[in-house]
Every structure is written in C-alpha cells, then in structure tokens.
Structure 1
C-alpha cells in the first residue's frame, strides 16, 4: 500500500451554525464557536462515487442541524490514518475486510458502522470475448492486498478457472490455489494501479472495481465476467472508531448516509456500477 499522503483538499459541505444572542463577551463567543464545532462531522474519503455519496448525505444532515465536512485524500491509507488519529470522525471509502487488515497492521480500533453499497466487481480483458477464449499461460493482474486478492481469486474460482483450498472462500491468497489448470501467471498490483495494468501488452485479464476501471473508459457491462455471489462483507462502509461509534455525530452521519435521498442517488445515478446495501 502507498504511504500516507497529504489530503489534497477539504470540501466544506452543508452549512455553518451561527452563534445565538447579542454582542456578548469573548467568552460567550468562544462557547458559541465550540458548540458550532460540535455539530461538524468530518468524513474522509478517496474518490467518486464515495465522495459524491457524502455530498448527498451532507444535504440531508443539514436539515437536522449538522454540517458534514468532506476531506478528500489521494490513496487507500490516508483516510484510515485520519480516523485512527482523530483527525476525522469517520471515513467512507472501504469494505470491512480492508478495514480489518488496517486494524491488524496498525494496531488500530476502527469499526465498520454501516454498509452503504456493493460495487459490481469482476475481471476485464482487452484480448478475449469469452471465458473459453482464455489460453494457457495468461498473465492475470490481481490486487496485492490480501482482502481484495481473496475476493478476486474467489471470482476466478466461481468461473472454474482455478481451485482454491477447501474452506478458503474469499480469504485466500495465491498460496491457497490448489489447481491452476490454465497455468495463469500472477501479477500482484496495488488496487489503485490495476487500471494501468489493463493497458499492459502482456496482461490479458485484470480484476477491478467500477471506480478504477472507469479510468480506461470501461464499466461493469464491459467485464469478461463479474462476481456472481456477492459477499456482504465487501460492501463499502461508513467506518468510525471504537471510542466514537455510539456518538451523536456518528448516529447523525449514519442517518444521513442511509436516507431515502442517498438511496435514490445510488439507484438513479449509479445502478450500472453498484447495488445499495441498506
């Protein structure tokens, strides 16, 4: 995974609460400012459509007196680091297995709060039109992190292209492959770079998410094959910390993120790439 990078931008969503009362003293002004800050929910995210969902939720939260501040980062580590350190109240950018991997590696205490949508994931090929066309020795690009790699391998197993060890499910790695009849060659790539791997001349099969494969002009309908059995653990989640998961801020965020307005946005604007999970 990439190392921490600085957030590239902070987008203030919703509205700022104004202080009540007359001119007041400096102390009253400070107290009012503090109360206003208590109504701000900072959410870290990485790219569309996650950032767009947060913006829709911000409009909903505004009606209840909350301001959602979106902090957009450029990699798949920064949003977790921000939540873990307390710089952000929550994030919206990952599925539960990826969060659990971060917790284990960083000794963190992040918590999956609410699934929002399941992305339509699968394998893409610029060289083949059907599974039967895939020849022996094909180079296959898959994620290099265990949580996403396991899901990719499970999809290949669904297509009978490989066989995984009994009981592995979506938790496998390359080491858990017990049969590889087409002698696939494996290229392990950072999730954010899989779309670039698609264009490599010696790579003929690439796993990817709709968000990232869109960089090369493709969508799930263009996939050679998609995931058949969706594992709910891979739904993109609102994530917080153990010490704030029951706070008013997170309750308000969860309410806004599971609103009718967010569902309508997902169904009308992104039905091609995802399925609502609430």
Structure 2
C-alpha cells in the first residue's frame, strides 16, 4: 500500500510538473496583440468625411482608423498633445505652429491634404466695389487666420499693409485704409453667425464654416487668388510618433488616390487637393 501510494504521488507530481511546463511554454508562445487602431481627431466636414474615406483605405492594410469628432478648434490639438489620439486633421500649419508656441507642444505636419477656397461673403452687396466707406468687415480673431484674411484685402487694394508682411500681417500692420473700414475680430467658429448681423457688410470664412448658413465659395464676392501651401489643411501628428507605423499607414491612406478623387468629385467647389 505504501509503495502504491508513493507511486501515485510521484506520478501526480510528475504530471503536474509536465502540465506546468507546457503552460509556461504556451505563455511564451503567446505574442501580445498588435495595436492596429489609429485614432484621428477632426471637427467638421469635409475633414471628417475625408477621414472616413481614408479609413476604408487603411482597412486594406489591416488598420482601423477611428474618427474622434470634436466640436471646437481647441480639443483636437489638446487631445493630440496629451496623447489621447494619434493624429488630427483639422488645421493648417500656421495655426498648428501658433498652438505649439502657446502650449509648448511638439505637433508636426505629416501631409498637406487640401487647400480650402477661402474668401469673403456679403448678404447685402454683390461685389467688393459696392462696399461703402466705414463698412464693418468681420475677420478671424486668431493671428494665423487674421493675416490670411487681411492679405486678401491687401491684394484687392481695399487696404495697404506694410511691405513684406505677406500672410503674417495684423491689424497693426495696416498702413492705408482708404475706405475707413472697421474691422470686427470674431472667433472663426462664429463668423458664419456674423454674416447675418445687419451692420456687417462682409465676412471672411472657410467653406466648412460658411456652410452653416448654406453658402459655398460660389456665393463669395471675393476669393483668395494666391494659394499659399502653408495654409493647406493637413494631417498632423507629434514629433514622438511621426515615424511610427501607425502614422506611416495613416499618411498612406490620407494621401491615397481614393481620397484625392473624393475631394475632386465631392468637394470641387470648396477644396483643391494638395498632394
């Protein structure tokens, strides 16, 4: 009986050790699942639409692009800075650089995607020549877009900016204002509402935002003539992840033939591919 008991105990111990050994081997063979989800913050059409087109392209290479839609021009950069998303698609380079400067961030442009057709809109006037003296004109309050808005007016001769300021001009850089225009600095997201104000003669805006009042660049009385590629709406990531496999895959999808054809077919009135 004693020998039999010892035999059973030894057999059980041996089997147990074998089982443990196999379990350990199994654990070693198990590889951690690769993270194939790419989170992209964006705000409004056509930007969000383009992300969804790129999503289908990324699927072909085994990646899942997750759109994180926000409601303002702050969250998408804050989320990227704080590593809550992998990239964003909602801005041009000058706006991004201003954020970097103000927030001590390290965001970088990965790929320009499209140039938005920006310009001025008026509910009361059909041409710039009709704009009266001392008229009120609404322009963006942020520095990067303010400069672009003023450059268009300078190009048309409505104002004269200091030589050499280009798209970096501010209200302080206006040397001549023959019509004595009164400028209203308005947050970019509120410019569409300013269009309907009774005492506002003209409003600068982007297609994505002026669409709120059912307008397109075809309705503008003044459009930007010179395209500055710095203002292309771009895919943005961080310095620490710009060379990652995720961002490489996302760049490929965002700059794909499918995205270019989508912009040309569905948004030809408002955007021009930048790649």
Measure how far apart 1:49 and its partner are: 0.5
Partner of 2:205: 208
Partner of 1:13: none
Partner of 1:183: 180
Partner of 2:17: none
TM alignment of 1:1-278, pairs within 5 A: 35-36=33-34, 38-278=35-275
Q: Give the match's secondary structure for 1:55.
A: helix
Whole-angstrom CA distance in 2 between matches of 1:35 and 1:49? 33
Measure how far apart 1:131 and its partner are: 1.5
Whole-angstrom CA distance in 1 between matches of 2:259 and 2:134? 44
Measure how far apart 1:118 and its partner are: 0.2
CA-based RMSD of the aligned residues comes to 1.4
TM-score when normalising by structure 2:
0.89
Measure how far apart 1:127 and its partner are: 1.1
In structure 1, the gaps of 5 or more residues are: 1-23
Q: Give the match's secondary structure for 1:170.
A: helix
Measure how far apart 1:35 and its partner are: 2.2
Whole-angstrom CA distance in 1 between matches of 2:213 and 2:41? 25
Measure how far apart 1:132 and its partner are: 1.2
Measure how far apart 1:81 and its partner are: 0.5
Whole-angstrom CA distance in 1 between matches of 2:43 and 2:128? 33
Whole-angstrom CA distance in 1 between matches of 2:225 and 2:163? 19
Q: Give the match's secondary structure for 1:74.
A: coil
Q: Give the match's secondary structure for 2:168.
A: coil
**Runs ≥4 in structure 1, deviation > 2 angstroms?**
none
**Across the two proteins, how many residue pairs are aligned to each other?**
250
TM-score when normalising by structure 1:
0.88
Partner of 1:6: none
Higher helix share: 2
